[in-house]
Chains A and B, each alone.
Chain A
Amino acid sequence: MTEFLTFTLAGLVLGAVYGIAASGLVLTYNTSGIFNFAHGAEAMFGAFVYWQVHVSWGLPTWLALIVVIGIFAPLMGGALYFVIMRGLRNTAEVTKIVVTVAVLLGSVALSQWIWDPLTPRSIDLFFGPTKKVEIFGAFLSYHDIITLFVAVLIIVGIWLLFYKTMVGVAMRGVVDDPALLQLNGHDPQRTSALSWILGAMLAVIAGVLITPISGGSLDANALTLLVIDTFAAAMFGRLRSIPRTFVGAIVLGLASNYVVGYFPSDWSWTPNFRLSLSMIVLFVVLIVVPSGRLTASATRTRERYRVPTLRMALIGAVALIVTVVLIRQLMVVEDITQLALGMTFAVMALSLTLLTGYAGQPNLGVVSFGAVATVLVFHNGLTGYRVSDTMTWWGLLIAVAITAVVGALVALPALRLQGLYLALATIAFGVFISRMVLADIGPHKLFGMKFSLFTQGSLTIPALKVGPLDLRDPTTFLMSVTVVFAVLGVALIALRNSGYGRRLAAMKDSPVALSMLGQNLIGLKLGVFALSAAIAGLGGILMSTALGTVNVGNFDILLSLSLVMLTVSAGIGYVTGALAGGVLAGVGFAVLVGTFNNLGTSNPGSASTYSALASFITVLPAVIGITIGRSPSGFLHELFEGYRRLLNAKPVLIGGALVEALMYVLALTDTLDNWWFGITTFALLFLLPVFGQVFMPAAMRAPHESVAEPDPIWEDVGITTPYTLDLRTELDRRLGLPAPATELATRRPSAVAAGSRGV
């Protein structure tokens, strides 16, 4: 009985913290329409700042709490809203998801820059571990009691805020109709800002409370991912109801503790099962959550992608292969292997081009599908022994096919709900794979067979060998991966130009209209998800081959997140976006960081400068991701537009090509360092449209294009945007009305002129 009570009390306390964290998520989502994947990162940052203020600077607990919850958290939440989130209106759901993911990654990088992860830090229970009360033989520490009390306070507080105050009513309304709210005299910006501030405060409270409960030591990654454990609770509240969210959280907390208490301790799966429990619960909740109603949804978002023709795709594929061959000539073996690794990431990113770019469905656990395929190929697809072992082509195919089925099974429960649920399901799947499958290193006995999924914590994946094609040679491997990417890329563009591709695009734009044409949406989504999981699986196997030996760190969920983020930043609607995003995520930034660290070691005098630069580059990807709101179609889209114009300024284009050719020759003859060749090539690539603008401004302006203003947000015209004659003319044009406004505009000055002449 005492034992049961102990587990129950611990479960209630854990559930209370989960509830506090999840309620912040739900609150922010409901008032700003943005699901904050960085909520855990906020909690983590809060805990670190609390450590800094309380432990490092020695402020008393109460003062430290005031500083962290009362000053730091509101500043953080407000800054997030005003600097980043406010710019996300009229963007696709995927863009919103990716921006908060970028904040998550940036926070982790920034915290590791400020607080060196190699130094251990910890925070204590409030009032220390000795202060506790006894309840029928079970113990509850003062910290636990405070946690429970705070949870109750928050539930009551949020209820009072939402139902008893004007600002709360406004907060509930702001997502549904910001324009209406504004007409009623509320400022939707202030309401949204308030929700981000409250969300940040709840996150920080959760962070400060949970760190001592879960051991006390501060670990940026672990704390950031902790919020994923609360997704199931938020989902149980259907992302709307705070009370239901708390119920879900309590159930989750209790279940985790009962698993520890009552699962057979000799069962080898128990510890991993406990860690994955919230992911399993999340999938159960997904299955039982009632489907949302299919509603009208087509709004014009700011993302724009041009679909290349098949001919252009083929030209691009050949150009890519030629480029890689040329670059290969400049490289030593280690570099070739690095570039090949980057290309394998690009293959994984292609799965996102198909799924997210074409069909509008998110997947935040891409690399984990690569892990599934890798485990499968390790167990079933190898032949030979030790040094001479190789991968078989049929083993590869079977692994990829099974990964497609796994993908379908993962996606199935989420598909009848909105895209956000799929994002949550895939991120949970990623964590599940890391905690359950890849952590399965010890042997089990099942049906008399002794096995473990991820034997001893690392798998050695040999290269594929089919007939004369032996991928163990680095150059052969690089070229093979490049060809795989090129072929898949062309295939995807052909797919996008086919009827199937049009149906995917239509589903992305208006699912409700497509279903009213007779399309079974779940079938279409399921098919495309399975196909994209297969591509991710293939990319994952290639990545594992490139690495040779893989461990759990190679399939970290943060890797999936940065892959998604960089691919979206580059342009997820484009195959080239996958290339840029994949290479950047796979090796690009790692290479830069490594270069700066090497420079630091070889120049001890300016080592601190170089290490600061290296740290800055670890934060850089997130900075790029955060700016997606400004150009949601990705930086490649902007670049392509520049080059389309540059086609009219041939001399500049030819000049650029000549300079690049010259530099290549210099690099080939070792006159120019590879590093400088790389920098100047990228600079030239991005600056050439600018040069065109400078040298031949007339040619750069396409004849049919006027220098148009960006589209105003039509709902705001007359509310926050001044109602000008131009806007009225444009509205009339869109509504197909005759245009008296323009006549008025041209007539008025002349009438005035005539009038003055008359007098």
Chain B
Amino acid sequence: MAVLETRGISVRFGGLTANDDVSIDIEGGAITGLIGPNGAGKTTLFNVMTGLQKPTNGGVFFDGQDITGISPSRRAQRGLGRTFQRLELFLSLSVRDNIRAAGDVYNANHRGNRVKVNAVTDQVLGLTGLEDIADQDVADIPTGRARVVEVARALVGQPRVLLLDEPASGQTEHETEVFTDLLKRLVAEGLTICLVEHDLPLVMAVCSRIHVLDFGVLLASGTPAEIQANQQVIDAYIGTAEATK
């Protein structure tokens, strides 16, 4: 069943419609892909789901409950984690302290049920394979690994749903392979993931369902095989002779 759902989301910035009546669902315990050309409204939809962007119309539902009106931090506390397309790391801190900060937030929100920040941090560093650069300044590490730090940081609070915004961009081929393994392991442990990604082979390999956005409109939803066969999707990506709008 759908853990996270958008119903009829529209976002308009003045004359520009970034999302137009978009309804998607994200199945629990699986990876859902969200793809589309640049400017299709994927990040806007992420922002709506996480509460950074108020939708003009429509609602967001988490476990069947309407969360459209609640703040980003409240949503995060309920178990919604995310990473950012343009990296949002704590640039004055080390890799380790970036992750510890997430543990500190968790403890501040769960006064009666604290975790041992250092232990959790070590565990997450091990899980994500970041031990070798743990004590470097996060500002000095390459983009591909910085993306993994964002994922690691988001994992500390034990989210139920993780929204990943282009996590593989800037990663080398090898890093992407390692990263794909990590995603699979996380899902096997019960995490729900929604993935915005331009690396289509990656998306096709890990996603059980895919939603395609184009010019803010939901173009298609289905399994990877269905999406690959969908003529509209092919047109949107490659372009058609008369598609000159």
A612–B89 Cα distance when bound, in Å, is: 50
Contact between B88 and A737, CB atoms less than 8 A apart = no
Contacts of B90 in A (CB 8 A): 298, 505-506, 509-510, 513-514
* Segment among B140-148, B182-190, B197-205, B237-245 that sits at the interface with chain A: B140-148
**A520 at the B interface (CB under 8 A):** yes
**B126 at the A interface (CB under 8 A):** no
**A517 at the B interface (CB under 8 A):** yes
A520 to chain B, nearest CB (A): 5
* Segment among B28-36, B92-100, B216-224 that sits at the interface with chain A: B92-100
Contacts of A518 in B (CB 8 A): 73, 76-77, 105-106, 109, 157
Interface residues of A in 511-540 (CB under 8 A from B): 512-521
**B101 at the A interface (CB under 8 A):** yes
Contact between B170 and A736, CB atoms less than 8 A apart = yes
Known: A298-B87, A512-B52, A735-B170. A502 touches B93 (CB 8 A): yes
Contacts of A503 in B (CB 8 A): 101, 104-105, 108
Contact between A293 and B52, CB atoms less than 8 A apart = yes
Contact between B72 and A506, CB atoms less than 8 A apart = no
**A499 at the B interface (CB under 8 A):** yes
A520–B175 Cα distance when bound, in Å, is: 33
Q: CB-nearest residue of chain A relative to B104?
A: A499
**B103 at the A interface (CB under 8 A):** yes
Contacts of B97 in A (CB 8 A): 502, 505
Contact between A517 and B154, CB atoms less than 8 A apart = yes
Contacts of A305 in B (CB 8 A): 92
Contact between B91 and A733, CB atoms less than 8 A apart = no
B11 to chain A, nearest CB (A): 11
Contact between A735 and B142, CB atoms less than 8 A apart = yes
Contacts of B71 in A (CB 8 A): 515, 520
**A500 at the B interface (CB under 8 A):** yes
Select the residue from A300, A499, A738 with max chain B CB neighbours within 10 A: A499
Name A509's contact: one of B76, B91, B142 (CB within 8 Å): B91
Contacts of B154 in A (CB 8 A): 516-517
Contacts of B54 in A (CB 8 A): 293
**B86 at the A interface (CB under 8 A):** yes
> Considering the complex of A and B, which 7 residue pairs feature the smallest CB-CB distances, nearest first?
A499-B104, A736-B142, A736-B144, A518-B76, A513-B88, A509-B90, A506-B101
A-B contact pairs, 29 of them (CB 8 A): A293-B53, A295-B52, A296-B84, A298-B91, A301-B91, A500-B108, A502-B100, A505-B93, A505-B101, A506-B93, A509-B89, A509-B90, A509-B93, A510-B89, A512-B52, A513-B89, A516-B81, A517-B81, A517-B157, A518-B73, A518-B106, A520-B71, A520-B73, A520-B74, A521-B73, A734-B142, A735-B143, A736-B144, A736-B175
Q: B-contacting residues of A (Cβ < 8 Å)? A: 293-298, 300-301, 304-305, 499-500, 502-503, 505-506, 508-510, 512-521, 733-738
New A-B pairs, 12, CB < 8 Å, besides A298-B88, A735-B142: A297-B88, A298-B86, A499-B107, A500-B108, A502-B101, A512-B72, A512-B84, A512-B88, A513-B88, A515-B72, A516-B76, A520-B74
Q: A-contacting residues of B (Cβ < 8 Å)? A: 50, 52-54, 71-74, 76-77, 81-82, 84, 86-93, 97-98, 100-109, 117, 139, 142-145, 150, 153-154, 156-157, 170-172, 175
